C-alpha cells in the first residue's frame, strides 16, 4: 500500500466534515509518512490485509451471487404474471456492508450482503425459492436460514467464503444499477424488517461519505480494530464495541484531523477518546428528521436513552445508539485502554517505542486475582450452538448483576470463548467456557467479609433458562456451570494456549472436591471460597477462609457462589408448569471435570485464537 495513496497533500481539505470545526488542519510531515509506513509493516503479519488473489475471488463470488439474484427475480416475476415488457427491465441487486464494504476486512473474514428486490417480491419468496436456488448451487455449503431473527438472514458458504445475506424489498418497480441506499425516501412504506435490513448498508455508506480521506480512514481503522481485538474489548454482544462503533470513532477522529495520515490519526484517536466526556454522544453528522415516525435515539424524548453510558450514534436515519450494551465496567475498561494506548503512541511518536508495542496482547488471565468461569454445555453439536448463542447474548446481564454488588468494583468478561474440558464419560458433551475477571472493593477494618454471589448468578441463569423455555429451544441436557476461581486455578480449566503459566510453580493451587460435593478452594491463597452443598445440612455454611486477601493482611474474604447447572424441574421445558430451579434446592450434577482436573492432563480441541 503506497504512502501516496494514503494522503492528499496538494491542498487543504475544502469540505467541512462533522458537527464541529476540525481541531487541526496540519499537513503530514515526512516523519509522519515514515511512521505510517512502519505501521503498515507492523500490521502485515497479523493478516489484516487481504492478498490481491483473495480479493479477486471475493469479487467473483459476489458477481455470481448477483447474477443468481437477477435470474431468481426474473423467474419469480414470470411466476407472478408480471408483463414481459416489465420483466425485461426488472432488476435486483446485491449490496455489501460492514467491514468488506468499508474496505477493512481481514483474511478469511465473512461478507455481509443485502439482497435488494423490487416491490412485487415478498420476503417469503427470498426464504423459499431463493433459498432453494442457493441449495442447487454446487459452490454453496452450510446453507441455513434464520427467518425469525430480529434481522432475518440466510447464512452460507459460497466457494469457501462465508456470507450473510439480508433481504429488503423496496417500493420500486425495478432496482436501478446506480441506486443510492442513503436516500431517505427509500424508507417510505417499508416494513420494519426491511428498514432494519437496509440499515447496515445505509450506515456503512454514510460513514464512507463523512470521512475526508477514505484511505487514511481505512488504514487507521484496521489498526484500531486489531488493537481492540488484541486488548479483549471488541464485542458488541458482551458490552464492548462492535465493528461499526469502532468505525464511527475512527471516522470522528478523521473529521477532527482531516489532513492527518494514519500514524497521526491512531495517536489522535487515543488522545480524543481517553479525554472524551462520556456520556456526551459521538455524532458524525447532525441528526435529521425525515418525518417517517421511526424511533430514533433522542434522550430529550426517550427517557431510556438518557441512561446510555457511551452513546455512539449511527449517521443514517433512523439514528440509533450502536453501544446500548455498554455497562459501567465495560466503559471503565475501554477508557483505561484508551489511556494506555495514548501513553504507548506518545512513546512511538517520540521514537521511544515501536508499533508492535501497541499490539502486544495483555495477559487477561494474569490481570485479575479473581475470576468467574461460566461453562455452557449440551449433548449435541446443534444444541450446543443454539445454547452457546443464547448464553453469550445474556452474559452482559450477569456483568450488570455483578456491577450492582456492593463489594464489586469491576467485572471484565473476556470476549474470547474457549472449548470446555472434555468429559471422561460415555456421553459425548459439547461445552464452551467464558471467563470474567472480577475486582472486589478494598475494605477497611479488621472484620471478616462475606461476599455472596449466589443471587447475582442465580438471577442470570434464571434469565437464560426462562428465555430458552419461552423460545422452545430448551433441552434437558443444556446446562450452565458457574464457578469463582483464582488466577492460579484458571490453568486447569482452559486450553494451554490460552494461559501463559507463571514462572513460579505452585504445589497447592488445585481445585479439590470435598466429600459433600462442594468445592474447597481454600488450599490456595490470598482468599478462599467454597460452594456449599445444596443437598446437605451445611448448605448455608461457608468454608473458613485464610487471611491475607486483597483486603489487607488481617482480613478474611469469603466468596460464596452456587455450583450450577441448575436443572429445570417439575414439568416439561417446552410448556406446562416448568419451575426454574433455586440453587439451594437443585441437586448437584455428577462431579464435573471442572473440579477433577488437578493431577491429570486435559485434552482440548483446537481453537482459533
Residue 234 labelled as part of a binding site: yes
Pairing state between β 547-549 and 528-529: unpaired
User: Which residue in 17, 100, 234, 465 is the catalytic one?
Assistant: 234
Radius of gyration of the chain (CA): 27
Residue 98 labelled as part of a binding site: yes
Residue 112 labelled as part of a binding site: yes
Residue 97 labelled as part of a binding site: yes
Could you tell me which residues are beta bridge partners of residue 164? Answer: 112, 155
Identify whether 225 is a catalytic site residue: yes
Interior angle at CA 130, CA 126 and CA 134, nearest 5: 140
Identify whether 541 is a catalytic site residue: no
Identify whether 110 is a catalytic site residue: yes
Query: Can you tell me the distance from the alpha carbon of 457 to that of 64, in angstroms, rounded to the nearest whole number?
Result: 49
Identify whether 606 is a catalytic site residue: no
Residue 437 labelled as part of a binding site: no
User: Which residue in 112, 205, 456, 509 is the catalytic one?
Assistant: 112
CA distances from 505 to 250, 413, 491, 510 (A): 44, 27, 12, 12
Residue 575 labelled as part of a binding site: no
Buried b (16+ CB within 10 A) or exposed e, 135-149: eeeeebeeeebeeee
Residue 225 labelled as part of a binding site: yes
User: Which residue in 38, 64, 93, 110 is the catalytic one?
Assistant: 110
Angle separating helix axes 328-349 and 381-404, nearest 10 degrees:
90
Residue 462 labelled as part of a binding site: no
Contacts (Cβ under 8 Å, ≥6 apart) of 446 = 554, 555
Query: Can you tell me the distance from the alpha carbon of 515 to that of 508, in angstroms, rounded to the nearest whole number?
Result: 19
Count how many Cα atoms sit within 13 Å of the Cα of residue 104 in the half-sphere of its side chain.
26
Residue 93 labelled as part of a binding site: no
User: Which residue in 225, 268, 479, 488 is the catalytic one?
Assistant: 225
Nearest Cα neighbor of 457 from 438, 470, 471, 441 is: 438
User: Which residue in 32, 77, 99, 235 is the catalytic one?
Assistant: 99
Identify whether 257 is a catalytic site residue: no
Nearest Cα neighbor of 248 from 280, 210, 286 is: 210
Nearest Cα neighbor of 417 from 441, 391, 399 is: 391
Residue 425 labelled as part of a binding site: no
Identify whether 112 is a catalytic site residue: yes
User: Which residue in 32, 125, 164, 305 is the catalytic one?
Assistant: 164
Active site residues: 99, 110, 112, 164, 225, 234
Binding residues for ATP: 97-99, 106, 110-112, 164, 225, 234, 243-244
Binding residues for Mg(2+): 110, 112, 164
Binding residues: 97-99, 106, 110-112, 164, 225, 234, 243-244
Amino acid at each position: 500500500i503506497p504512502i501516496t495513496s494514503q494522503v492528499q497533500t496538494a491542498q487543504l481539505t475544502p469540505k467541512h466534515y462533522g458537527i464541529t470545526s476540525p481541531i487541526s488542519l496540519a499537513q503530514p510531515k515526512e516523519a509522519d509518512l515514515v511512521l505510517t509506513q512502519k505501521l503498515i509493516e507492523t500490521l502485515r503479519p497479523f493478516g489484516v490485509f487481504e492478498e490481491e488473489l483473495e480479493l479477486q475471488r471475493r469479487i467473483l463470488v459476489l458477481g455470481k451471487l448477483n447474477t443468481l439474484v437477477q435470474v431468481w427475480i426474473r423467474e419469480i416475476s414470470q411466476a407472478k404474471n408480471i408483463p414481459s415488457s416489465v420483466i425485461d427491465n426488472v432488476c435486483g441487486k446485491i449490496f455489501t456492508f460492514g467491514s468488506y464494504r468499508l474496505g477493512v476486512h481481514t483474511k478469511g473474514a465473512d461478507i455481509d450482503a443485502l439482497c435488494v428486490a423490487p416491490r412485487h417480491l415478498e420476503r417469503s419468496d427470498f426464504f423459499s425459492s431463493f433459498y432453494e436456488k442457493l441449495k442447487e448451487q454446487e459452490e454453496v455449503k452450510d446453507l441455513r436460514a434464520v427467518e425469525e431473527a430480529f434481522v432475518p438472514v440466510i447464512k452460507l458458504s459460497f466457494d469457501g467464503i462465508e456470507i450473510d445475506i439480508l433481504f429488503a424489498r423496496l417500493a420500486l418497480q425495478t432496482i436501478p444499477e446506480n441506486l443510492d441506499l442513503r436516500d431517505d425516501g427509500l424508507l417510505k412504506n417499508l416494513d420494519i424488517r426491511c428498514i432494519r435490513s437496509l440499515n447496515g448498508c445505509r450506515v456503512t455508506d454514510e460513514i464512507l461519505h463523512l470521512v475526508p480521506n477514505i484511505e487514511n480512514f481505512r488504514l487507521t481503522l484496521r489498526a484500531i480494530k486489531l488493537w481492540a481485538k488484541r486488548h479483549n474489548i471488541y464485542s458488541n454482544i458482551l458490552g464492548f464495541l462492535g465493528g461499526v462503533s469502532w468505525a464511527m470513532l475512527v471516522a470522528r477522529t478523521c473529521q477532527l484531523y482531516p489532513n492527518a495520515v494514519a500514524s497521526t490519526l491512531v495517536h489522535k484517536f487515543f488522545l480524543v477518546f481517553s479525554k472524551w466526556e462520556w456520556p456526551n454522544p459521538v455524532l458524525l453528522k447532525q441528526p435529521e428528521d425525515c418525518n417517517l415516525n421511526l424511533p430514533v435515539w433522542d434522550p430529550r424524548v426517550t427517557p431510556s436513552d438518557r441512561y446510555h453510558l457511551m452513546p455512539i450514534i449511527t449517521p443514517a436515519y433512523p439514528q440509533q445508539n450502536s453501544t446500548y450494551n455498554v455497562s459501567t465496567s465495560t466503559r471503565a475498561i475501554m477508557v483505561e485502554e484508551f489511556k494506555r494506548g495514548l501513553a504507548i503512541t506518545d512513546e512511538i511518536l517520540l521514537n521511544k517505542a515501536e508499533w508492535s508495542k501497541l499490539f502486544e496482547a495483555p495477559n487477561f488471565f494474569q490481570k485479575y486475582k479473581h475470576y468467574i468461569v461460566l461453562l455452557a454445555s449440551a449433548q449435541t453439536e446443534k444444541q450446543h450452538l443454539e445454547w452457546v448463542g443464547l448464553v453469550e447474548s445474556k452474559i452482559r446481564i450477569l456483568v450488570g448483576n455483578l456491577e450492582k454488588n456492593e463489594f464489586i468494583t469491576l467485572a471484565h468478561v473476556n470476549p474470547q470463548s474457549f472449548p470446555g474440558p472434555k468429559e471422561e464419560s460415555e456421553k459425548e458433551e459439547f461445552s464452551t467456557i467464558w471467563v470474567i475477571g472480577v475486582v472486589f472493593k478494598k475494605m477497611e477494618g479488621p472484620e471478616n467479609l462475606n461476599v455472596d454471589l449466589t443471587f447475582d448468578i442465580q438471577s442470570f441463569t434464571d434469565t437464560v433458562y426462562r428465555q430458552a423455555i419461552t423460545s422452545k429451544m430448551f433441552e434437558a441436557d443444556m446446562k450452565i456451570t458457574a464457578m469463582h476461581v483464582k488466577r492460579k486455578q484458571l490453568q486447569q480449566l482452559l486450553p494451554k494456549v490460552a494461559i501463559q503459566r507463571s514462572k513460579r510453580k505452585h504445589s497447592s493451587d488445585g481445585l479439590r472436591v470435598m466429600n459433600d460435593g462442594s468445592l474447597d478452594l481454600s488450599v490456595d491463597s490470598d482468599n478462599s471460597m467454597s460452594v456449599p452443598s445444596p443437598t446437605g445440612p451445611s448448605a448455608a455454611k461457608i468454608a473458613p477462609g485464610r487471611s491475607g486477601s486483597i483486603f489487607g493482611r488481617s482480613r478474611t474474604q469469603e466468596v460464596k457462589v452456587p455450583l450450577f447447572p441448575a436443572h429445570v424441574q417439575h414439568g416439561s421445558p417446552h410448556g406446562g408448569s416448568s419451575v426454574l430451579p433455586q440453587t439451594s434446592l437443585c441437586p448437584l450434577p455428577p462431579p464435573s471435570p471442572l473440579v477433577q482436573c488437578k493431577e491429570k492432563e486435559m485434552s482440548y480441541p483446537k481453537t482459533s485464537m
